[in-house]
A and B are shown apart, each in its own frame.
Chain A
Amino acid sequence: MATRNSVFANPKPCEHLADYKLRHGLSGYKSIQKWLKASPYGKTGIKMCETKIPTCRFRSGFHQGRLFLCLICSSMSCSDHTLLHAQSENGHDIAVDIERSELYCCLCSDQVYDPDFDKVVVSKNIMDMPSKTHDSVVDDLMRRSSKRRRLNPVVDLDLKRSKLLVSMMDRRAKSCYPLGLRGLNNLGSTCFMNSVLQALLHAPPFRNYFLSERHDPETCKKRSSDQLCLACDFGVIFSAVYSGDRTPYSPAQFLYSWWQHSANLASYEQQDAHEFFISVLDGIHEREGKGRNSNKDNGGCQCIAHRVFSGMLRSDVTCTTCGFTSTTYDPCVDISLNMDTTNFSSVTVANKSVREDTGRSTLLACLDLFTRPERLGSDQKLYCQNCQEKRDSLKQMSIKRLPLVLSLHIKRFEHSSLRRSSRKIDWYLQFPFSLDMTPYLSPSIVRNRFGNRVFGFESDKPDISSEFEIFAVVTHSGMLDSGHYVTYLRLQNQWYKCDDAWITEVDERIVRAAQCYMIFYVQKMLYCKANEDWSCTPISTRRDPFVPIAGCC
């Protein structure tokens, strides 16, 4: 079970534990430390003797249940007899669950907590770790903050410094609706493109970059004679969409440029919005990010696509024999989540087992699934540096660094190797409007693996950069190869439906009930700021003359 919050309450000890601490301090904890043994799966148990099975001293026969080791006399009692032991021996109140190394008060008959005990357990965990595991896992267990803070690029993407903002506020829009709300014409099965463009057009840091004219087409042309630059095309779209003109815009030039970039995807047919999204970010990066922009000290590529969307995933592979963990980091521009297909009920229809949607699948469950330790099959044995041979392993993903804009992609396609076909999973997936990503960050995941031990001397303030607010949802309706994409945008706390050329207002309930395919969240700080920047402009009584933008650009 993933933990939601890194701020813990320093637990108040029961009177028996308090009494025990007064009289014995840490001596009891330290005396059992040598018997603490963590399994490669992270669970710490107590093993006193290699040759004998521990048994309850009050029982004969094999039925015993959970065993507790008395901290004073080291005798074992099962859960039925701990009270008896505490009553018969004065002061023998505190015991330890030998399966999980949790403190237990025999008189309260309850699990109790002591940061000093947790510290003893974690110290032993660290001592026992195969040598090369150290840094990443140890840092997380000892709650050491990551060494390098990535430079917060928010400063660069402040819209208030934009000249364009001033000029736009002057121009009277056709209505009092937020600027930047404009339909996109369907150019022939291009709703996959329109839906993603709408989301990008309203991703605060991405939008601010282009509206501040940070991407200069002049410099771009000077750098290379090659006409193709998706960022330049984006600049054009941004100007058009935020111009105040409300008639639907045709992103034809963008389609043309994109097809030149992604030759393999250049065809007139239904396409996948997620594939388009990745392809477009890649296109921007290719042009912007190569060479001069890549700077390891700055935390990676500085192209706008990566600065806004790129985060870092961490993968821990643990040898199930010796516990050695090897950690690797990979950047990502989005996270693709499998649907939680365990949350289904099996129904028999016409002699075939069919999975029925229970309606209870949630985004958080998908994230739990994503960060759950996964047992790699015995055909996927990995080489363990410690054991020096191939071993069965556990793999666990976690998020090392969150991006400014978090894009979550729901894998709604199911491939059946049996029937050699794919189908779409139409089930409803609940998704929140406010999302706290803390439980999926690497420190939370690693600490969870080792039993959520807490020490008490560090104050972990909740990190607000883990809090996200939704601003766009791309939904898909229909079949795998013929369907329709629609984007819902949240602007100034009002939801709008962007269905190609049609922009309509919708109630948030419509959005909550929709079948999500891609969900876009932005860091809460940036979301609140974006809401401030864009207040309604008043209705104009006369039309402003404006130059119509040439249709094909």
Chain B
Amino acid sequence: MSVPNEDNMSPHTQLSSHFFGELLDSIIVDVASECHRIARLGLDRNLEEEEEELRLSAQARVTVADPSNSGETNGKYVVDIFGQTHPSVANEVFDCMNCGRPIVAGRFAPHLEKCMGKGRKARVKATRSSTAAQNRYSRGSPVSAYSAYSNSTGTNRLSNGTYNHTVEEYSNGTCEEP
């Protein structure tokens, strides 16, 4: 906000400008007085620790942003700290506790949703005919029917390129891997 030129102002403007100045000064002095008390009475002891934390964080951001520093990337891992490697879709197999069928871990949630009769798609299912209609629909346009699902599983491992593979599986109408 530009400072008005006092000479060119009407007395009315001068007066309101003056009042504003007084109010602003008063607020500034209030803050200064409060901070003075806090500093003088040692109520602000942890300032150094706070500043150290800020400095460390700022430094960290710089280091991480520097591309030459990426030892740790968001994308692929080769091995974890135990020397293990894992597929993009967890392949442990166990029995579903609701229906007893063996399920692949990475597909357990979508299976369970249908199995328990929950979720949007499952609620539709009531008669054999509607199920059949659903299967027909899914085979015809895999992307639109399962776009929500494929997005979600896709983002977990975007860089591993299993996106398309996943969609194909669903379009066959089965969720389990042989």
Contact = CB atoms under 8 A, between A and B. Distances in A.
Contacts of B83: 175
Contact of B34 (A189, A260, A269, A452): A452
B108 interface: yes
Given A189-B156, A255-B108, A496-B81, A430 B113 contact: no
A252 B116 CA distance: 13
A269 B152 contact: yes
Interface stretch (B3-11, B52-60, B127-135, B137-145): B52-60
Contacts of A477: 74
A59 interface: no
Give chain B's interface secondary structure class: helix
B37 A102 contact: yes
Contact of A177 (B37, B81, B98, B108): B81
A187 B18 contact: no
A174 B86 CA distance: 17
Interface string A146-180: 00000000000000000000000000001101000
Interface residues of A, number: 87
Report, as a range, how many residues of chain B touch the other chain: 35 or more
Interface string A486-520: 00000000001101111111111111110000000
Nearest to A3: B43
B90 A187 contact: yes
A131 interface: no
Question: Which of B37, B46, B120: most chain A Cβ within 10 A?
Answer: B37
B113 A246 contact: no
Interface string B49-82: 1100110111111011100000010100100111
Contact of A113 (B29, B37, B90, B95): B37
Contacts of A505: 81
A418 interface: no
B64 A187 contact: no
A395 interface: no
A8 interface: yes
B155 A183 contact: no
Question: Which of A253, A477, A507, A552: most chain B Cβ within 10 A?
Answer: A552
A502 B80 contact: yes
Contact of B156 (A183, A186, A248, A506): A186
B177 interface: no
B156 A513 contact: no
Interface string A235-267: 000000000001110101101100110010011
Contact of A268 (B80, B81, B96, B119): B119
Interface string A1-19: 1011111110100000000
Contacts of A499: 77
A247 B85 CA distance: 10
Given A246-B84, A252-B94, A270 B42 contact: no
A91 interface: no
A183 B80 contact: yes
A428 interface: yes
Contact of A187 (B37, B45, B65, B109): B109
A499 B160 CA distance: 14
Given A270-B152, A452-B41, A509-B63, 14 more contacts: A65-B29, A183-B86, A186-B106, A188-B108, A250-B92, A252-B96, A259-B112, A269-B152, A430-B57, A432-B53, A452-B43, A482-B155, A502-B86, A504-B72
Interface of A: 1, 3-9, 11, 43, 62-63, 65-66, 97, 99-100, 102, 111, 113, 174-175, 177, 181, 183, 185-191, 246-248, 250, 252-253, 255-256, 259-260, 263, 266-270, 359, 362, 364, 428, 430-434, 436, 451-452, 454, 477-478, 482-484, 496-497, 499-513, 550-553
